[in-house]
Chains A and B, each alone.
Chain A
Amino acid sequence: GENVEQHPSTLSVQEGDSAVIKCTYSDSASNYFPWYKQELGKGPQLIIDIRSNVGEKKDQRIAVTLNKTAKHFSLHITETQPEDSAVYFCAARGVKAAGNKLTFGGGTRVLVKP
């Protein structure tokens, strides 16, 4: 099955700096790559996603890039703010997966220091 690795596991940045989280996946047929943000005491929420026919997608201060050849994708957060502090999960969905079954990475705890 699909295997997703996520790095780093923790990331501390100064407010205003950029943060980058990287994920690699194993199934070359995977076609959908979402990112979820989990704030303290809450369930994860989708913040951005990208499909295999697109190389980059941006939504305000967050962007995701996909390199299908290398089988990795990254989340970029610019001008970080304290409210960006959370745990972030990447995920990938293989073509053979049924019912929107996603494989998640191990998570990255991001701390934005004021």
Chain B
Amino acid sequence: DVKVTQSSRYLVKRTGEKVFLECVQDMDHENMFWYRQDPGLGLRLIYFSYDVKMKEKGDIPEGYSVSREKKERFSLILESASTNQTSMYLCASSLWGAVATNEKLFFGSGTQLSVL
């Protein structure tokens, strides 16, 4: 089974700190995604990457950046954390392409980030 591992389950940071959220997948997937999950708002896409060193903005990229130096690892960076970035962050991966069997997203268990 595909495994998507997020480095921390819970994280508490102070306003203004630089925060790194790490995600690693073990199935050689081309696509990787970062979502944030907030009650009533569902999952909103922050950034995604379809190849090493490639990145694309999602729907809510403001205040975030990403890094993908290796195929299996996708990092989300909060340059200067703010209280409105308190949220559950979910990483996901999938195979590339429009082929039906490749469209399934595999999610990690999430990182609950609290910014105080």
List chain A positions with a Cβ less than 8 A from chain B. Answer: 1, 4, 6, 9, 32, 34, 36, 41-46, 49, 51, 89, 91, 93, 98-107
Contacts and interface: CB of A to CB of B under 8 A. Distances in A.
Interface size class of B (residues with CB under 8 A): 20 to 34
Given A98-B50, A99-B96, 11 more contacts: A9-B40, A34-B105, A44-B90, A51-B100, A89-B42, A91-B43, A98-B56, A101-B58, A104-B43, A104-B44, A105-B42
Contacts of B42: 4, 6, 89, 104-107
Nearest to B41: A106
Interface in B91-116: 92, 94, 96, 100, 102-105, 107-110
Interface in B16-62: 31, 35, 39-45, 48, 50, 56, 58-59
Contacts, number: 63
Contacts of A101: 45, 48, 58
B58 A44 contact: no
Top-10 shortest CB links A-B: A43-B107, A104-B42, A104-B43, A106-B42, A99-B50, A46-B104, A44-B107, A107-B42, A106-B40, A43-B109
A33 to B, nearest CB: 11
B56 A99 contact: yes
Contacts of B50: 98-99
Contacts of B48: 99, 101
B43 A89 contact: yes
B108 A100 contact: no
Nearest to A5: B42
Contact of A43 (B40, B44, B56, B90): B90
